[in-house]
Copies of this chain bind each other. A is one copy, B any other.
Amino acid sequence: MIKPRTPAGVLELLPPDQIAFQRMLDVVRRNFERFGFLPVETPVMELSEVLLTKSGGETERQVYFVQSTGALEKASDDTPELALRFDLTVPLARFVAEHEHDLAFPFRRYQMQRVYRGERQQRGRFREFYQCDIDVIGKDSLSVRFDAELPAVIHALFSELDIGAFTIHLNNRKLMRGFFQQQGVIDPAMQALVLREVDKLDKRGADYVREVLAGDVFGLPHGVVDRILDFVRIRSTSHADALASLDRLVNGERGAVNASLAEGVAELRDVLELVRAMGVPESAYALNLSIARGLDYYTGTVYETTLDAYPQIGSICSGGRYEDLASHYTKSKLPGVGISIGLTRLFWQLREAGLLGTASSTVHVLVTQMDASHLPHCLRVASELRHAGFNTEVVMEPSKIAKQFRYADRAGIRFVLVLGDDEIATGKVTVKDLRREDQFQVERADLAAALRVELAQPAGVP
> Which residues of A approach B to under 8 Å, CB–CB?
1-7, 10, 12-15, 18-19, 22, 33-36, 38-47, 49-50, 53, 58-59, 62-70, 72, 75, 77, 80-82, 84, 93-95, 97-99, 102-104, 106, 108-109, 114, 116, 118, 128, 143, 145-146, 149, 152, 156, 273-274, 277-279, 326, 328-331, 361-363, 366, 375-376, 379-380, 382-383, 386, 389-394, 396-397, 407, 410-411
**Closest Cβ neighbor of A392 among chain B residues:** B36
Partner of A277 from the list B7, B47, B108, B375 (CB cut-off 8 Å) is B375
CA distance A109 to B19 in the complex (A): 12
| A68 CB contacts on chain B under 8 angstroms | 62-65, 118
Q: Please tell me if the beta carbons of A39 and B66 are within 8 angstroms of each other in the complex.
A: no
CA distance A273 to B210 in the complex (A): 82
| A93 CB contacts on chain B under 8 angstroms | 4
Q: Please tell me if the beta carbons of A15 and B34 are within 8 angstroms of each other in the complex.
A: no
Q: Please tell me if the beta carbons of A36 and B106 are within 8 angstroms of each other in the complex.
A: no
A51 to chain B, nearest CB (A): 10
Copies of this protein, total = 2
**Closest Cβ neighbor of A109 among chain B residues:** B15
Q: Please tell me if the beta carbons of B39 and A410 are within 8 angstroms of each other in the complex.
A: no
CA distance A104 to B363 in the complex (A): 14
Name A's interface SS: mixed
| A328 CB contacts on chain B under 8 angstroms | 1-2
Q: Please tell me if the beta carbons of B69 and A6 are within 8 angstroms of each other in the complex.
A: no
CA distance A379 to B35 in the complex (A): 11
| A50 CB contacts on chain B under 8 angstroms | 2-5
A40 to chain B, nearest CB (A): 6
Given contacts A67-B65, A396-B143, whether A99 and B149 have CB atoms under 8 Å apart is no
User: Given known contacts A34-B386, A35-B391, A104-B407, what 20 new A-B pairs fall within 8 Å (CB)?
Assistant: A2-B49, A2-B329, A4-B93, A7-B43, A7-B82, A10-B43, A12-B41, A14-B99, A15-B40, A18-B38, A34-B392, A38-B363, A44-B116, A59-B69, A62-B69, A145-B375, A145-B397, A274-B379, A277-B379, A279-B383
Q: Please tell me if the beta carbons of A393 and B84 are within 8 angstroms of each other in the complex.
A: no
Q: Please tell me if the beta carbons of A53 and B277 are within 8 angstroms of each other in the complex.
A: no
A325 to chain B, nearest CB (A): 11
Given contacts A36-B363, A63-B68, A396-B149, whether A279 and B380 have CB atoms under 8 Å apart is yes
A396 to chain B, nearest CB (A): 5
**Closest Cβ neighbor of A99 among chain B residues:** B14
Q: Please tell me if the beta carbons of A43 and B6 are within 8 angstroms of each other in the complex.
A: yes
Q: Please tell me if the beta carbons of A6 and B46 are within 8 angstroms of each other in the complex.
A: yes
